[in-house]
Structure 1
Amino acid sequence: MKNLLSLFLLVSFFYTTSAQGIYDVAKIPENLKKDAIAVVRNEEQFFDIKSIGSAQYEYKIAITVLNKAGDDLAEMAEVYDNFSNISNIKAAMYDAAGKKIRDYKSSDIRDQLASDGFSLFQDNRVKLLKFISNSYPYTIEYSFTQNFNGLLNLPSWRAIKGFDISVEQSAYTIQKNKFYQLRYLTSTDLKTDSVTIGDKVKYSWKSNNVQAVTREPMAVGVDNISAWVKASPNEFEFDNTTGNFNNWKNFGAWIYKLNEGGNRLPDVTRALLQKLVKDAKTPKEKIQILYNYLQQNTRYVSVQLGVGGFRPILAEKVAQVNYGDCKALSNYMKALLNEVGISSNLIVIGNGMPSLNQNYSSIGQANHMILCVPLPKDTTYLECTSQYKPMGFIGYDNADRNVLMITDAGGKIVHTPAYSAKDNYQIRKTKINFSEDGIADISIKSLYGNAQFEDNFTMLLKEPIEQRKILIERNDIPGAELTTFKYEQVNRNLPVMTEEINLKSNQILTKGGDRFFLMLNQVNRKESIPPKVENRKTYFAVPFSYTDEDEITYALPNGFKVEFIPKDIAINSEFGSYTAKFTSKDNIIVYTRTQMMNDKKYPPEKYNEYVDFYKKIYQADKQKAVLAKAP
């Protein structure tokens, strides 16, 4: 009996232990649960390069979702195309104790077009599986094999998948033949393990026990705090093309070769172009005429088909169908200019991405194409996908970064124009006239330039009823009633727009005893202060540098006098500068405010200094004048 009892206890122990599987939430270290919505329990990437044009990718991941905020991570969405296939998919879900509660079948996995919302033609597809659980925490696990027939780039790896996600362990391995050449970049201090066995070389990287980082104000990503690897081949084969990415010159040579013979235009189009520019006096006038023609006669449609994701549609075809993607429209504009004797160069650029790394060439650093027109005395860059942007204005997501110019001699790194704080302006003049009964007529006229034009431009495209709705929602003037408004771009060739708004309010003056108080900044006031963050982890930046200039003129009611007006204020820091000036004469108060901000990328330890700077502006924006009725 004693032996039977011991055997029963032993079996019970092993059953309980096995039931508490490797994904038991109780096994997650407490430091990884802190501030986390999910924990990557294990991630394994193995990329085996078979030849210059083929490879096999083995991927496995398990993620424990701790609460509802992490549900978006409970998804498998793996993309493939005509040059790869995905097989051997396995997926399962586990409960909080690590007990498997479901295996997924192939019928549970959707295979669908990987629609990006704007591509008319593409061959990307996605294997999609959404894991759903009504209780928390739970763990999802999936794995698959992907075979590639054509290699333009190699998978990248980053241990941290995003904010509020911790990592138990994550690893990446690349295996290649010892004669196959590739290049890689890694994050600072990440150890690379390299081993050679026979004619195979393995590079391995791993990261363990990484705590979650909460999303921090103004953060510009997690690359400075995460382990990461980026890799690229040298020689490659893809869709019956070959090339070499070992430097930007060779990269550009491949792009140039793809575009060869693509600039021919139909005879009818050529004749039209000559007619359009026959009275133009200068090359700049010709560029303007043809850019306007492009905008009025084409529209942007993305096309992503094999190497067609990199080779533009023929200019002749664009002339017939009147649409194209960024490559096709840039190449078409190049053909238009070429027809009238103006040379230009295609530009490969990372729209909204960092500058191209001059010392490391790879296809993953760019996602867009524009056009450059070098003239003897200046250079004009053209954003060919927009039907509205003025000639030469490429937007702050394309500005001030290294890009690749495609020439007949190969690729060449150049730098796009930078828009300074002075260029990205908002100039606003406000007049507030008080009637005898204290009702204020408010007239606001604003001028937006460059990046601030870009930020506000969509208002020009909206219907008046929608404009009104937005203006009412944005209004911060107490008790203000919107009466009239107007938006206008006086000159389509300049990135400048005007805004005129008229309002009425009876709540601008506030009474306290026998005095009246007037908040002097009514139209561009900071209403909150970013929270301080101790032990901040991420870098931060404002989206773009800018300058705001405000002038508000108050005409006070008859019988009022100014008893107090604030002293002038000046605030300066490495983040920017601020001034506020106050004058009063003959019942007229003039308030002027200027704020200039730099768009530098700042290290985490500077953030609380930025908050202190911002707090000073917040306080300065609250200055009031004190008025009294004359006896």
Structure 2
Amino acid sequence: MQKYFLLTLFTGLMSLAAQSQNNYDASKIPDNLKQDAVAVVRNEEQIYEYKTIGSGTIKYKIVITVLNKAGDAYAEFTEVYDRFSNIYNLKGILYDATGKKIKDYKSSDFLDHSLVSNYTIFQDDRVKLLNISNTTYPYTVEYSYSQDFNGILTLPSWKSLKGYHIATEKSSYVFQKNAGLNVRFLTSEGLKTDSTTVNNKTTYSWVANNIPATIHEPLSVGTDQLSAWVKIAPNQFEFDSSKGDLSTWNNLGAWISKLNENGDVLPPATKTIVQNLIKDAKTDREKIQILYNHLQQNTRYVSVQLGIGGFKPILAEKVAQVNYGDCKALSNYMKALLKEAGIQSNLIVIGNGMPELNKMYSSIGQANHMILAVPSAKDTTFLECTSQNYPMGYIGYSNSDRNVLMVTENGGKLIRTPKYQSKDNYQLSKTSVLLTEDGTANISTKSSYGNAQYEDNLPNLLSEPTEVRKRILQSLDFADAELQQVKFEQNDKKLPIVNGEIKYITKQLLTKGGDKMFLVINQINRKESVPEKVTNRKTSFAIPFDYNDEDEIIYTLPAGLKVDFLPKDVKLTSEFGEYTASFVANGNTITYKRTQTMNSKTYPASKYNEYVDFYKKIYQADKVKAVLSK
């Protein structure tokens, strides 16, 4: 009965695939799927058999019709494998617009490359590649393959939408597991799960039909709200001779703790260095600062992705010898340095730039990074150990305000990283503009950038001077701008603050109209465009980050030039933020002050046009002019 059921399941699916080959005529794609689409998934079939805690097999097939040149990227096949998996039965087929087969591609036609990035020196991932393209549109490509896994940490997920501007005619996922294998599912809201159990084998299936393409909406937080999706995580696992339990965050943390057992031992020479470095330090915080500086000055980041090495840090002893490591190795090495100084710390598993860890659903795939936490009675100091520039305690905006997993001797514990408020992510600028009688403007701006805006300006601190000057010239509105001085510096290495000073000359500040001259008062931090409104917006949106800008410009007018008109003060308030602008004329000076504070959070789609209206008011306020005359 068991074999008969499996044979019926696979035969039925393959039979449907064979029948569908007669339907690859692009003219048969429903019109609603062509709208806003550059490509259409005609049929996708993903079948995964979960055999043991350490083995599984996937059979995959996808057929995509490319409607125009913008969809050519979807005609490319890429699939990653490593020494714990192998790909076989690779096939590709190209069809013309009517669905007639043009060419077959076999396994030997697929390229096989090492998947090593420019910052990776150890990695065993490889990729199979094939790019089937056609000069006549529309055309259809079909890819299929099988892949065996010998080592399981994660299980395949499924999503009915492949991205923006690609529709789905049909997509299905069949997941089968043997008895005794426990998994957890996380699915999109309202998705139906069908399941059957025959002879100790349970099969789950999901299907999506006729999903129209979606366009990329400004500030969108992704397509998950529009797509059907499934995530599956194993409870127990076996990978690279390591076994563990992922059913809870506590268990996952316990596994990582065990992987790192005895991994924070330093060689005697390094212990001596630590003791010499901290001998005059009076507090733990001073010791942390000294050792963090030592880490930054003596190590560099490289990626290591070899088997369990993708999860297990390189021994601290090894890092001390070679002076490099990945995020895990450098965090673990810093942990060892602190341990030698008598300071306890904990490794932190985090999703950098990803959605925060789901409290109710533990899995490996939600994290991609590791940092370090140093708890104390009053607070916790977090350390980004891969950066050679961040001050101690600053971990970057993409690591902030999220659930993370702290690894302890007693297992994993979910905690939260600090939230950088708008007042922390600031830009403060003061500008003086000296106007001469011939219309020349001598402009000098001094600025200070904190936290997230410090990150934005780090390239100006670290780049070659010629690159910085080029970048600044491109940011100025005046074609004739002549740079006299550009300087960026970090006065206090202990603080995430960049200070900048720019001086330049232009003759294009004033515009003439009859006997009047017009001055756009905000010349420093101005909104230059307004996002378009979106009718029937479908996705929620988020402002990239909380921030606070405070800018002041003082204009000094030459003798004989007077102010005929100044705009009225402006104050705008909404749930998205606040904005103020004030204008004061006093003798031969005009003082302009501008503040803007924005609140970063996820807003429902229905609020987007209100956000645009608020943004438009700021744009208009930033463009107001003073009228001058002789």
TM range (shorter): over 0.9
1 CA distance for matches of 2:355 and 2:326? 22
Counterpart for residue 563 of structure 2: 562
Q: Is the 8 A contact 2:353 2:399 kept in 1?
A: yes
1 CA distance for matches of 2:580 and 2:596? 7
2 CA distance for matches of 1:142 and 1:481? 56
SS at match of 1:468: helix
Counterpart for residue 591 of structure 1: 592
Deviations 1:503-541 (A, max 9, x none): 111121222122221111011111111111101112211
1:565-584 aligned at under 5 Å gives the runs 565-584=566-585
Counterpart for residue 407 of structure 2: 406
Q: Is the 8 A contact 1:438 1:557 kept in 2?
A: no
Q: Which moved more, 1:288-297 or 1:20-29?
A: 20-29
Deviations 1:347-372 (A, max 9, x none): 00000001100110000000000000
2 CA distance for matches of 1:310 and 1:355? 19
Counterpart for residue 5 of structure 2: none
SS at match of 2:362: coil
Displacement of 1:91: 1.0
Summarize the Cα distance change of 1:625–1:19 in structure 2 as closer, same or farther, 3 Å threshold. Answer: closer
TM-score for both structures, normalised by structure 1: 0.96
Q: Is the 8 A contact 1:184 1:229 kept in 2?
A: yes
Counterpart for residue 443 of structure 2: 442
Counterpart for residue 157 of structure 1: 158
Displacement of 1:101: 0.3
The answer to whether 1:322 aligns with 2:323 is yes
Counterpart for residue 82 of structure 1: 83
Instruction: Name the Cα RMSD after superposition.
Output: 1.2
1 CA distance for matches of 2:282 and 2:378? 16
Counterpart for residue 525 of structure 1: 526
Q: Is the 8 A contact 1:185 1:231 kept in 2?
A: yes
2 CA distance for matches of 1:209 and 1:100? 24
Q: Is the 8 A contact 1:54 1:149 kept in 2?
A: yes
Q: Is the 8 A contact 2:577 2:598 kept in 1?
A: yes
Summarize the Cα distance change of 1:489–1:20 in structure 2 as closer, same or farther, 3 Å threshold. Answer: closer
1 CA distance for matches of 2:544 and 2:478? 26
The answer to whether 1:293 aligns with 2:291 is no
Counterpart for residue 265 of structure 1: 266
Displacement of 1:477: 4.2
Counterpart for residue 43 of structure 1: 44
Deviations 1:191-250 (A, max 9, x none): 111111121111111110000001111112101111100110001111111111110000
Deviations 1:110-155 (A, max 9, x none): 1111123321101111111111211111111011111111111101
1:616-631 aligned at under 5 Å gives the runs 616-629=617-630
Deviations 1:253-290 (A, max 9, x none): 00000000101111011001100000001100000000
Q: Is the 8 A contact 1:21 1:97 kept in 2?
A: no
The number of residue pairs the alignment matches comes to 612
SS at match of 2:603: coil
Q: Is the 8 A contact 1:476 1:523 kept in 2?
A: no
SS at match of 1:472: helix
Displacement of 1:20: 8.9
1 CA distance for matches of 2:565 and 2:615? 25
Deviations 1:380-410 (A, max 9, x none): 0000001111111000110000000000000
Deviations 1:66-107 (A, max 9, x none): 111111111111111111111111111100000010000222
Q: Which moved more, 1:330-339 or 1:617-626?
A: 617-626
The answer to whether 1:136 aligns with 2:137 is yes
One-letter code aligned to 1:124: D
Counterpart for residue 33 of structure 1: 34
2 CA distance for matches of 1:393 and 1:147? 42
Counterpart for residue 387 of structure 2: 386
2 CA distance for matches of 1:440 and 1:128? 57
One-letter code aligned to 1:57: I
The answer to whether 1:457 aligns with 2:458 is yes
SS at match of 2:330: helix
2 CA distance for matches of 1:331 and 1:138? 51
One-letter code aligned to 1:244: D
2 CA distance for matches of 1:268 and 1:56? 49
Q: Is the 8 A contact 1:19 1:97 kept in 2?
A: no
Counterpart for residue 217 of structure 1: 218
Q: Is the 8 A contact 1:74 1:130 kept in 2?
A: yes
Deviations 1:10-42 (A, max 9, x none): xxxxxxxx9993211011001101110000000
SS at match of 1:86: strand
Deviations 1:424-470 (A, max 9, x none): 00001010011122211100111000000001101111111111111
Counterpart for residue 357 of structure 1: 358
2 CA distance for matches of 1:479 and 1:551? 23
Counterpart for residue 62 of structure 1: 63
Q: Is the 8 A contact 1:547 1:595 kept in 2?
A: yes
TM-score for both structures, normalised by structure 2: 0.96
Q: Is the 8 A contact 1:20 1:99 kept in 2?
A: no
Q: Is the 8 A contact 2:577 2:597 kept in 1?
A: yes
Counterpart for residue 335 of structure 2: 334
One-letter code aligned to 2:314: I
2 CA distance for matches of 1:31 and 1:344? 56
2 CA distance for matches of 1:606 and 1:193? 36
Moved over 6 A (4+): none
The answer to whether 1:497 aligns with 2:498 is yes
1 CA distance for matches of 2:511 and 2:249? 64
Counterpart for residue 3 of structure 1: none
One-letter code aligned to 1:211: P
2 CA distance for matches of 1:292 and 1:171? 52
Displacement of 1:304: 0.3
SS at match of 2:23: coil
The answer to whether 1:615 aligns with 2:613 is no
Deviations 1:552-585 (A, max 9, x none): 0000111122121111101111111100011111
Identity %: 63
SS at match of 1:252: helix
Q: Which moved more, 1:620-629 or 1:253-262?
A: 620-629
Counterpart for residue 606 of structure 2: 605
Q: Is the 8 A contact 2:195 2:202 kept in 1?
A: yes
1:105-144 aligned at under 5 Å gives the runs 105-144=106-145
One-letter code aligned to 1:567: K
Deviations 1:479-505 (A, max 9, x none): 432221111111111100111000111
SS at match of 2:611: helix
1 CA distance for matches of 2:20 and 2:118? 44
Displacement of 1:176: 0.7
SS at match of 2:356: coil
SS at match of 1:351: coil
1 CA distance for matches of 2:59 and 2:21? 27
2 CA distance for matches of 1:53 and 1:478? 63
Counterpart for residue 230 of structure 1: 231
Counterpart for residue 4 of structure 1: none
Counterpart for residue 8 of structure 2: none
SS at match of 1:21: helix
2 CA distance for matches of 1:523 and 1:478? 15
Q: Is the 8 A contact 2:561 2:628 kept in 1?
A: yes
Counterpart for residue 5 of structure 1: none
Q: Which moved more, 1:20-29 or 1:290-299?
A: 20-29
Counterpart for residue 247 of structure 1: 248
1 CA distance for matches of 2:251 and 2:228? 29
2 CA distance for matches of 1:126 and 1:560? 69
Displacement of 1:377: 1.8
Q: Is the 8 A contact 1:477 1:522 kept in 2?
A: no
SS at match of 2:227: coil
Counterpart for residue 472 of structure 2: 471
SS at match of 2:552: strand
SS at match of 1:36: coil
Q: Is the 8 A contact 1:19 1:99 kept in 2?
A: no
One-letter code aligned to 1:29: P
SS at match of 1:56: strand
Q: Is the 8 A contact 1:23 1:41 kept in 2?
A: yes
Q: Is the 8 A contact 1:74 1:131 kept in 2?
A: yes
One-letter code aligned to 1:227: A
One-letter code aligned to 1:253: A
